[in-house]
A and B are shown apart, each in its own frame.
Chain A
């Protein structure tokens, strides 16, 4: 049955003659009164009637379909639909197909994603690849859709399908290296995939990958934070890994988009990194002509530059400067 077949208003449809619609009670003098369209009013009046009567029937299921099309955010309609699906033992694969059409028009609707998860949970591992494909289609429309990512993480953890996930992250980052959601997913995979051996095992290849991404667009916040994350709970390796300090140096020497390189170098210095003359020269050459004279303390010089080039956050950099240990 299709919603289009129901051209007759419910009040004139013989199939519904035995049901007495229940009107919405908005209270006596509502504070935020709502103007409803006639079709909406009628559908919801009949919905309230079948809902109250706990009617688990094909026509009630069809009615929830109509109500969902009118307002897919109505969580009570979705609840009732699940009760009907359960009671009638309907093939949930069909329900998944029904969902796909609605999802594409409402990509950020909590109820739709939750309903989908309820179905997939019941269908189990068999639908893992189908569900991963589905989120890929949704992420093709909006690569940062929070609901789609959250659902995808759930599918991976609950139903499996990790095999191609790192590749998928790579593919998205090739399309848009600024996609923070894809970087987050990459971290999720690298640190959590049962197939990859964990963060430490993956560190070397990931650092290489990240350094390349940084050099492509050094103004990109995400890979800088990702790089730091690869050394989670291991600041010693972070400071001593020459790949980290050298990517800072390379970006500084290129003299463009160097805010994150400076801030990373500042973090390294604050954690005990010893910078050689090459770093000092690279930083010195970035000092704006009207800034303070170079300080023997490299970290202080970096803060002065950042106060200048990232003036929106001047108070943050001033605070960072004030927290530096006194130079000897």
Chain B
């Protein structure tokens, strides 16, 4: 099985630029902000955030801010909650939240809340519990939860709860580990976890572990390293993580590494990418793998960063 090849992963993240004209680079162009968040959070968990010039990153991020206060996935694109949270998270990694006009960002976010408490991802109105999480997490980091209607937001999320204990993207939507992370994370941040049936959901989540040790996101689906984050973080937030077999999951994630060139893939032998590298390393951090910084399961940022946000002001 081997160990986590930390230096190779650092090198992989720093060298994504050298992979010229790949298909991945074109389709990632519009969501570069997410890519920066995945890459830099991974570097921080590996203890190597200082391998980058933070000023250049911050300058680029601020160029992605729209006059509405929201951030786009790249310069010249339209703002969206997906990129607004990533931008704020990366600024938090660098302890540079002070470069933001927090009220302006908060106004953009709270403006996306709908009458039923749900959130749209942008001005075009797509509604999904993912956006509830993005909004709540972002406002929490900015100390601006009071700018939104928390009670209504919580009620909407609860309306997406299913009889299996999980959550879907809208009321009646199938339970899916990614949506569960969003809903449980939003409920955790707003102090509303009493709405979760923890034992029932905990069992559903630990049923996601398959023979190989990996986790899937729904019944009868293939395991994927990204669920090491979505499922594990949810289990930790509801205090049921000891119900899965941690050793087997660690082995599964380590088997998805490219031990020669760095990076982690969705399943063993597949091609690596920054997204799965982040989820693999973050999952290992949740599993207390030695040498990694601890990560906060709700805010998806290193614990020291979260402590700095909430306990140093």
For residue A95, CB closer than 8 A to chain B, the reply is no
Q: Do A225 and B77 have beta carbons less than 8 Å apart? A: no
Closest to A314 in B: B245
Within 8 A of B (CB), among A251-304: none
Contacting pair B72 A32 (CB below 8 A): no
B59 at the interface (CB under 8 A from A): yes
**A37→B26 contact, CB < 8 A:** yes
- A:178-228 near B, CB below 8 Å: 178-181, 184-185, 187-188, 192, 221-222, 225-226, 228
Instruction: Digitize B168-191: 1 where CB-to-A-CB distance is under 8 Å, 0 elsewhere.
Output: 111011111000000000000000
In the complex, identify which listed stretch (B34-42, B289-297, B302-310) lies at the interface while the others stay far away: B34-42
On chain B, the residues within 8 Å of A179 by CB distance are: 220
Q: Is the CB of A35 within 8 A of B30?
A: no
A40 within 8 A of B: yes
Which residue of B17, B77, B164, B172 contacts A32 across the interface (Cβ within 8 Å)?
B17
A62 at the interface (CB under 8 A from B): no
Contact with A along B206-247 (1 / 0, CB 8 A): 110101000000111100000000000000000000111100
Instruction: Find out whether the CB atom of B57 lies under 8 angstroms from the CB atom of A181.
Output: no
Q: In the bound complex, do residue A34 and residue B25 qualify as a contact, i.e. CB atoms below 8 Å apart? A: yes
Chain B, residues 29-66, CB within 8 Å of chain A (1/0): the string is 11110011001100000000000110011011001000
Interface string of A18-60 (1 = CB under 8 A from B): 0000101111111111111100100000001000000000000
User: In the complex the two chains form, is B21's CB within 8 Å of A37's CB?
Assistant: yes
Q: Which of A87-119 contact B (CB under 8 A)?
A: 110, 114, 117-118
Within 8 A of A (CB), among B151-178: 162-164, 168-170, 172-176
- A184 touching B174 in the complex, CB below 8 Å, given contacts A25-B63, A225-B164: yes
Q: Is the CB of A34 within 8 A of B29?
A: yes
Find out whether the CB atom of A312 lies under 8 angstroms from the CB atom of B36: no
Closest CB in chain B relative to A151 CB, distance in Å: 10
Q: Any chain A CB within 8 A of the CB of B19?
A: yes
B35 x A32 contact (CB < 8 A): yes
* Contact partner, B22, options A35, A149, A226, Cβ 8 Å: A35
Alpha-carbon separation in the docked complex, A226 to B36 (Å): 41
B-chain residues with CB within 8 Å of residue A180 when the two chains form the complex = 174, 218-220
Tell me the bound Cα distance from A221 to B294 in angstroms.
34
| Chain A 151-185 residues near chain B, CB threshold 8 A | 153-154, 178-181, 184-185
Measured CA separation A215–B244 after assembly (Å): 28
Can you give 22 contacting A-B residue pairs, CB < 8 Å?
A24-B74, A31-B39, A31-B56, A32-B28, A32-B274, A34-B17, A35-B20, A35-B25, A73-B30, A74-B29, A74-B30, A75-B30, A75-B77, A76-B77, A76-B78, A117-B126, A153-B173, A181-B218, A225-B163, A225-B204, A229-B162, A312-B209
